[in-house]
Every structure is written in C-alpha cells, then in structure tokens.
C-alpha cells in the first residue's frame, strides 16, 4: 500500500470516529438538557404543536419500550447482548471500506448513547412524542433517530449499491 492509500484509510477511520463521537455527544447533550429542564421546572410534558410534544419517560426495555422486564437479571442480560451487538457494529463500522461504514458509525454512535444511559441510569430517557390526535407513536430520543437513519442507510445501500455490483 502506498503512502497516499494509507493516508486516505487513516482519514476515513478518523471521519468515522468523528461521526460516532458527534452522534454520541448530540444525544448526550439533548438528554442532559431535557432532564435538567424537566427537573428544574417540575413538569413531565411540553406541548409544542398538535403533532409534537416533549414528554419525558424512562424506557427500561429495548427499542420503543419493547421487552420491558421487572427482573434485574434479564435487564442485565439484555444490556450485555446490546453491548455485544454494539461491538459487532463498531467492528463493521471500522472494517467496511465503502460508504456503508458511515451508516454503521451512525448506528454505533446512537447505540452507544442509549447504552450509556442503560448502564448509568438503568433506563433510557425518551422524550420525542409524535402524535395525531390520540394516536401516539412510541416516544423516542435523538440516539433512536440516528440509529434509524443508519439502518435506513444500510438498507438503501444494500438495495442500490449491490444492484450496481
């Protein structure tokens, strides 16, 4: 490998790490802001529009509150599995040489944000509440948005990039 290729490879690794860090910190900053705001004002919900509220809930399950158990052993096993999956995603983010590596980096940054909360708070603060009248979607957070963007990006790259191979 020549010097130019090594430089490009190092820059791509650095760019992926920056993406992971930016996603993680944007999630952390949003959660810290919301938690402080709600604690300071002693409220649970802010109506922003007729389709959007900021509603603080603590999610002890996995994505969208699924698999919520009142058992610490199951919670810890679930957290361990999420950690292992996150490490695999990190591996793919760093090893994938094409653009899809950035989608893995986005997913990893979001997963790390939610994993941080699971470890330090034993649950994940969710606060984005989209709704139409009385139908509410699952409440989610910034990390969930990035994870979703990354997964959609991976699906699109599978469909469109593989088609060209």
What is the distance, to the nearest Å, from the Cα of residue 165 to the centroid of all Cα atoms in its chain?
A: 30
Interhelix angle for 142-164 vs 3-41, to 10°?
150
- Per-residue pLDDT tens for 75-131? 888 889 999 999 999 999 999 988 899 999 999 999 999 999 999 999 999 999 999
Residues 118 and 72: beta-carbon distance below 8 Å? no
Determine whether 126 is an active site residue: yes
- Contacts of the segment 25-33: beta carbons below 8 A, 24+ positions apart: 26/142, 26/146, 27/109, 27/110, 27/113, 27/114, 27/141, 27/142, 27/143, 27/146, 28/113, 28/116, 30/141, 30/142, 31/113, 31/117, 31/125, 31/127, 31/141, 31/142
- Coil vs helix vs strand at 1: coil
* Whole-number Å distance between alpha carbons of 102 and 157: 11
Confidence tier at 68 by pLDDT (50, 70, 90): low
Domain ranges, ordered by start, for the chain: 3-164
Is 117 known to be catalytic? no
Catalytic pick among 27, 117, 129, 144: 144
Find out whether 101 and 94 touch, Cβ atoms under 8 Å: yes
* Mean pLDDT value across residues 141-164: 89
Lowest mean pLDDT among 18-22, 63-67, 104-108, 157-161: 63-67
Q: What is the pLDDT of residue 93?
A: 96
Q: Which two tokens stand for residue 159?
A: 């469909």
According to DSSP, residue 140 is labeled B
- 108 with 20: CB under 8 angstroms? yes
The single residue of 117, 126, 129, 165 carrying the catalytic annotation is 126
């Amino acid at each position: 490998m020549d010097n130019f290729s090594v430089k490009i490879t190092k820059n791509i690794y650095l760019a992926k790490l920056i993406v992971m860090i930016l996603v993680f910190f944007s999630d952390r900053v949003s959660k810290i802001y919301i938690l402080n705001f709600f604690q300071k004002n002693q409220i649970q919900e802010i109506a922003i529009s007729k389709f959007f509220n900021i509603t603080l809930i603590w999610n002890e399950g996995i994505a969208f509150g699924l698999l919520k158990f009142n058992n610490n052993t199951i919670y810890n096993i679930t957290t361990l599995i999420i950690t292992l999956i996150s490490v695999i995603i990190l591996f793919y983010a760093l090893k994938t040489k094409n653009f899809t590596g950035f989608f893995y980096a986005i997913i990893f940054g979001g997963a790390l944000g939610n994993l941080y909360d699971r470890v330090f708070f034993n649950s994940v603060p969710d606060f984005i509440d989209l709704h139409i009248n009385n139908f509410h979607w699952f409440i989610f957070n910034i990390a969930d948005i990035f994870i979703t963007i990354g997964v959609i990006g991976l699906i699109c790259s599978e469909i469109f990039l593989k088609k060209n191979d």
